[in-house]
Amino acid sequence: MGHNEHELPLAKKMAKELNMIFFPKLNWEPGYSSVKNADFVKMEAGMSVVSKDEYQKKYKKVYLLPCVQFWVSPQINWDGKLLGCCQNLWGDFGNVFAQGFETCLTGERFVYAKKMLCGEAKTRGDIPCTKCSLYKEILQNPLKKKDIVFSRF
């Protein structure tokens, strides 16, 4: 974010003009373009932290686990495959073009995956989440309703 943090006020203004939500995220790669002016970024972005490490120390959990996308914005690939989240590139939960969106969202595997992510079901090999490196975090700290409801994803 350091390379363009000075553009935060402009981005915020543009979002308002376009009637869009201003939704900045923390830098995903800590070694790339670190924040230069933490106070400015916190103020302009409306954040209380400026790095994933700082977030984890303050809130005692991983920053923005994409797993919440299963509830708030299920990811669909260009070819219609329901992926669940943006991390999943290796499996799917059906095809919304062929089967319909509602059918895929209520499908047994998609519903089971959500239960796994909340710690309510055992890991199952046919669920794409089991191949995800972030799922290891979930096994240690399953998602809670408040993680989903108050997600900034």
Terminal-residue alpha carbon distance, the chain = 17
Look-up of token digits 């490196």: 133
Confidence of residue 64 (pLDDT cuts 50, 70, 90): low
Among 44, 58, 6, 3, smallest CA distance to 27 is for 3
- At residue 140, the pLDDT reads 87
Confidence of residue 60 (pLDDT cuts 50, 70, 90): confident
> Could you report the per-residue pLDDT of 83-127, keeping only the tens digit for each?
999 999 999 999 999 999 999 999 999 999 999 999 999 999 999
Residues 6+ apart with CB under 8 A from 60: none
- At residue 150, the pLDDT reads 61
What tokens appear for 37 in the block?
């002016």
Per cent of the chain over pLDDT 90 is 59
Mean pLDDT across the stretch 24-40?
85
> Could you report the per-residue pLDDT of 20-31, keeping only the tens digit for each?
888 788 887 778
- At residue 152, the pLDDT reads 55
- pLDDT surpassing 60 at residue 70: yes
Residues linked to residue 84 through DSSP beta bridges, in sequence order: 75
- pLDDT surpassing 70 at residue 80: yes
- pLDDT surpassing 80 at residue 68: yes
Mean pLDDT across the stretch 62-87?
90
What tokens appear for 98 in the block?
């062929």
Mean pLDDT across the stretch 58-66?
78
Residue-wise over 62-89: b if at least 16 C-beta within 10 A, else e? ebbbbbbbbbeebebeeeebbbbbebbe
* φ, ψ (nearest 5 deg) of residue 95: -120, 115
Residues 6+ apart with CB under 8 A from 45: 8, 24
- pLDDT surpassing 80 at residue 73: yes
